Structure 1
Amino acid sequence: VPFSYDGRPALGGISFALPPGSRTAVVGPSGAGKSTILALICRFRDPDSGRIEFLGRPATELTRAQCRAMTGLVEQDAPVLHGTVRDNLALAAPGASDDAMWRALRQANLHEFVANLPHGLDTQLGEHGARMSGGERQRLAIARALLARPSLLLLDEPTASLDTVNERLVVAALDQLPDDCAVLIVTHRLTTVRHADTILVVDHGRLAASGTHDDLLRSCGRYQRLLAGHPGDDVRGTTAGQAPDR
């Protein structure tokens, strides 16, 4: 699908699929179109042409509310209400049972943290989650999104402001997600996407390359340059020479 902002091209005809249970990452330089892809999937915007499908149905045959009910969005600055763990989880699914909440917390790799709080689900988290680390807030946001049982979980730079320890905990949480939930993660932190099933390299609004980390490391010069630009991300491994510029 192509997309333009006020007549200025932002995406140049990108096409990909997100099968149930798949883990797909989108990487690229700032301004490449990564966040625009999320905006189109969430139907904050509609493409100029082409179509987006949800479970085989064109998005235009669904209301925006129906499309968003199929997706869960976790943003970089995950909001935490001044209230309890239960209050925060119930935003996604009012009336959810305790069992459902604990299941979502386990899937988000946060159940041990909550179990050790003085009042469990009914513990006050403080203003903007002041009693939580950045990684704990992110995992709470993932649990909240999962409580609504989305078919697709979207993560927009979920580890950008986290230290290495919290980043690993968030990444580990993605391995606990339901088998039928597809994941699309947009990130600059390439350690976050190393084990994705597919990595999409976006540049100037176009899909420049796609493949696994190892495939792209061997064959995609753009991917190599992204890695070189993030020396703190220990994902480069070894490579025999510079790959072609694609």
Structure 2
Amino acid sequence: MSTPDHDLSNSLRDKFHAVQARIAAACVASGRSAGSVQLLAVSKTFSADNVRQVAACGQRDFGENYIQEGVDKIIALQGGDIQLVWHCIGPIQSNKTKLVAEHFDWAHTVDRLKIAQRLNDQRPAHLAPLNVCLQVNIDGGETKSGIAPVDVLALAAEVVKLPHLVLRGIMTIPDSVESFDAQVAVHAKACALFQEVKATLNLPQFDSLSMGMTGDLEAAVHAGSTMVRVGTAIFGGRTYPA
């Protein structure tokens, strides 16, 4: 007889492999090479044990939106046989930069120089530089965080000067649109901006275009995403505290 834990583990494994298959199929449909798109498993609101189960399937990169919750999981999962890579993909306020700088490997949501400077200054000397992406409000959504596209190049030019950060790319969370073509169109804007920054600043390490989630990963891959952030399709629906 199977146990609830065993059933959950099997369910997570099946969902994880289904997402991998979606990404692989999207790469084929877009004429891109297999493995050109990285999966970032978004584990917010789910337990360290859930992360451990997905990691057992081979996943190494995990994204957390809530910084303290993410730090708790990072600490809980330290010291194991599997080395995980942790990405902060939620808003970073000034009073949280120290936690991000000390515990995470990536920060995807840098949208102003003040936050970049604090992350740089608070990154411990014994750790590798923090990988960062600039969050861009690519479609001008009124409720969305992120820097305006027109200001990205200037911010990027300042961030690359910070010695304890490595500017790796840009991240976007556009508003939902229904059709595949409309999804591709907004993601294509981000891809064009990504290529412009990379070429203008001559940054070989600028290699990460973090865009696409459960509902639009195929369109994001078609437009050029190198990293899709998928949570619901792997871990299931979320229950948020009141």
For this structure pair, what is the TM-score category when the shorter chain's length is used for normalisation? 0.3 to 0.5
With CA pairs under 8 Å and 6+ residues apart, which has the higher RCO, 1 or 2? 1
Higher helix share: 2
